[in-house]
Amino acid sequence: MKKNVIKEYFFAINIFLGAFLLFLIQPVIGKIITPIYGGVSQVWSLCLFFFQATLFLGYTLTFVLNKFTPRIQSIIYLVFIAFAVIILKIPSAENLPTDSYNPAMSLFMALLQYIAIPIIFVSSISTLMQNWFGIVNKQDPYYLYSVSNIGSVMALLLFPIAIEPHISTSMTVLIWKCLFWVLAMTAGVVAVMFFVKTKDMPSQIEQKPEEAQPVSIMSFLKWIAFSSAGTILLLSYTTHITNDVAPIALLWVIPLGLYLLTFIIIFGSKEPYNRY
């Protein structure tokens, strides 16, 4: 093994665990808030919006970190991990605020207060670890995205089948916290290894890029449209089945699981479709 290589299973473990935690906490939060805010479709749709927003912020964190040198990235991320661990607090039904005039805003602010930073950290794991894998190992990291989505689907399947019927909500929250601390430690280990292996390596934006054709406006619009379509359909279908069938966790996670399954298929290899 070359001196500057970090074994891929270090990255794969973090990516899998991060995705598992990200999609396990969503139905758990849904179960916690239902007694206070009810099981109407707006509650679950707001939760989906919150987690989509924090996922976007996690990806944005990776994008911003990539502007720095690898060693600076490691230091900033270690500080962010420590901050996320310190402020982690999963809300319980007893300490959730309620506002009869604007319950949606009350719920959203509660989610921001309690779990926004830890969820941004968990959301950043997949893209950041893939980026670091590509920098250090000089390999295509995108197959690791399918590892991420396998973790996501596993969490969504385990919750209604094995966790919700047999484990109390308080115990589920405790297990989630313990796994979160494990993730923080393993991500910290990778950050330290990345710091050691990337001495004197410039930031990605300082490296001379390969010549590439400029992206056309039409291609850019297609990317935006196709990406948005999946999320819009997910939210719309979830709202539909919640209103017309029943507001239960199993029905909420089925469309989300199918949504993630498409990513497993697409990013598992380069064969299913032509990348633009």
Mean pLDDT estimate for the chain = 81
Least confident of 7-11, 35-39, 67-71: 35-39
**Top-confidence residue, 162 or 39:** 162
Residue 69 one-letter amino acid: T
% of the chain surpassing 70 pLDDT? 80
Q: What are the boundaries of each domain within the chain?
A: 8-200+218-267
Q: pLDDT band at residue 1, thresholds of 50, 70 and 90?
A: very low
CA 160, CA 251: separation in Å to the nearest integer? 9
Confidence check: pLDDT of 272 > 60: no
pLDDT of residue 183: 97
**Residue 61: which of 136, 120, 8 has the closest Cα?**
120
CA 142, CA 136: separation in Å to the nearest integer? 14
Read off the pTM.
Answer: 0.80
What backbone phi and psi angles, to 5 degrees, belong to 66?
-65, -15
